[in-house]
């Protein structure tokens, strides 16, 4: 099985790659269109801002390719947000494969933005990506923007209100939290993705 990590400039690429190695998968880091097109699984990691992330994909000529992929695709953290139609962060047009707009968390008393820390996941519907995940399992988040809970949400969590923690539409999937930092839960979800 060939797994590629799209080199879109995310700073968590090394830790995602190491998490995959712990599962016995040596994923290659690439910005080569043909390698991405022919891979069995494609992962779009990312930490940073939506504007530079999309600018990097445009610069590499990968936007139309990413939209056209038919194999399982996983966006992680910013990578998940880039799967959506638009992000409020810099009013950025994204890949548009998930019908949602990414919003900044509203400032509220007692809520610090960015959201950093462990949150419980709540399953919203059945999906192979969630096999072995129980309601209330913990995952580790670091982000200031989030995808609203909607029809695409497989699992949600709460931070000043519910938001999507795991999403899917067709062959496109996303995890807002960091699976590589989420212990057994993150490892299980990555393993589930590799088995899709």
Burial 120-143 (b: 16+ CB within 10 A, else e): ebbbbeebebbeebeeebbbbbeb
SS3 2: coil
- Catalytic machinery residues: 77, 178, 180
Structure tokens, 14: 């090394």
Structure tokens, 120: 């419980």
What region, left, alpha or beta, does residue 106 occupy, with left being phi > 0 and alpha being psi -120 to 50 degrees?
beta
What is the Cβ-side half-sphere exposure of residue 94, based on CA atoms within 13 angstroms?
28
């Amino acid at each position: 099985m060939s797994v590629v990590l799209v080199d879109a400039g995310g700073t968590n690429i090394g830790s995602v790659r190491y998490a995959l190695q712990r599962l016995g998968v040596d994923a290659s880091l690439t910005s080569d269109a043909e390698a991405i097109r022919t891979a069995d699984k494609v992962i779009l990691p990312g930490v940073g801002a939506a504007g530079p992330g999309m600018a990097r994909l445009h610069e590499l000529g990968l936007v139309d390719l990413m939209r056209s992929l038919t194999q399982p695709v996983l966006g992680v953290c910013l990578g998940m947000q880039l799967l959506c139609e638009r992000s409020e962060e810099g009013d950025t047009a994204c890949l548009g494969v998930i019908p949602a707009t990414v919003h900044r968390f509203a400032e509220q008393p007692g809520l610090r933005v960015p959201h950093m820390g462990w949150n419980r996941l709540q399953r919203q519907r059945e999906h192979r990506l969630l096999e072995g995940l129980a309601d209330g399992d913990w995952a580790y988040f670091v982000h200031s923007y989030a995808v609203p809970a909607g029809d695409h949400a497989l699992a949600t969590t709460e931070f000043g209100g519910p938001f999507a923690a795991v999403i899917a539409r067709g062959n496109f999937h996303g995890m807002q939290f960091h699976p590589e930092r989420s212990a057994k839960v993150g490892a299980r979800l990555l393993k589930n993705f590799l088995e899709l």
